[in-house]
Amino acid sequence: MRGYLHYVLKKEGLKPEDIDIVVNTHLHFDHSDNNIFFRGKPLYIHKTECDKPAASMIQDLWPDGLYSPDKYIIPVDTTEHNDFLVGTLDLHKISGNFQLTKDVKLIETPGHTPGSISVIIETAQGLVALIGDLAIRRQDYIERRLPHYVRDKEAVLKSHEKIRSLNPSIVIPGHDLPIWDLCKFPVPMKNFELTKWFPE
The predicted structure's pLDDT at residue 22: 94
Asked if 1 and 91 sit in the same domain, the reply is: yes
Residues 132 and 81 both lie in one domain: no
- C-alpha–C-alpha distance, residues 173 and 183, integer Å: 17
* DSSP state for residue 114 in the 8-state scheme: T
pLDDT in tens, 141-160: 888 888 777 888 899 999 99
Number of domains observed in the structure of the chain? 2
DSSP-derived secondary structure for 50-95: HHTTTTHHHHHH-TT-EE-TTSSEE-TTSTHHHHHHHTTSEEEEE-
Residues 125 and 135 both lie in one domain: yes
Cα separation, 168 vs 181, in Å, equals: 9
For position 151, what pLDDT does the model report?
A: 80
Instruction: Count Cα neighbours of 68 within 13 Å in the Cβ-side half-sphere.
Output: 19
Low-confidence ranges of the chain (pLDDT < 70): 1-2, 52-87, 181-200
Q: What is the predicted pLDDT for the residue at 14? A: 94
- Residue 87: per-residue pLDDT: 67
For 113-122, the pLDDT digits (tens) are 889 999 999 9
Which CATH number do you get for residue 101? 3.60.15.10
pLDDT of the residue at 168:
93
Kindly state whether residues 74 and 117 are assigned to the same domain: no
Full DSSP string of 145-183: PPPSS-S-HHHHHHHHHHHHHT--SEEE-TTS--B--TT
Rg of the chain taking only CA atoms, in angstroms: 17
Residues 66, 124, single domain; the answer is no
Do 24 and 88 share a domain, yes or no? yes
Residues 50 and 110 in one domain: no
| pLDDT value at residue 190 | 41
Domain boundary among 67, 95, 123: 95
Q: Is 188 exposed, middle or buried (0-12, 13-18, 19+ CB in 10 A)?
A: middle
In the three-class reduction of DSSP (H, G, I as helix; E, B as strand; rest coil), residue 118 is classed as strand
Verify that 48 and 59 share a domain, yes or no.
yes
Residue 125: per-residue pLDDT: 85
Q: Are 177 and 192 in contact (CB under 8 A)?
A: yes
- Tell me which of 61, 95, 129 is where a domain ends: 95
What whole-number distance in Å separates Cα of residue 34 and Cα of residue 18?
15
Instruction: Based on the fold, state whether residues 199 and 102 are members of the same structural domain.
Output: yes
Q: Which domain holds residue 36?
A: 1-95
Do 42 and 62 reside in the same domain of the chain? Answer: yes
Residue 134: what pLDDT? 93
pLDDT for position 155: 93
- At residue 44, the pLDDT reads 94
Q: Does residue 53 sit in the same domain as residue 108?
A: no
Position 198, amino acid: F
On whether both 69 and 115 belong to a single domain, the answer is no
62 contacts 30 by C-beta, under 8 angstroms: no
pLDDT at 17: 93
Point out the domain boundary residue: 66, 95, 124: 95
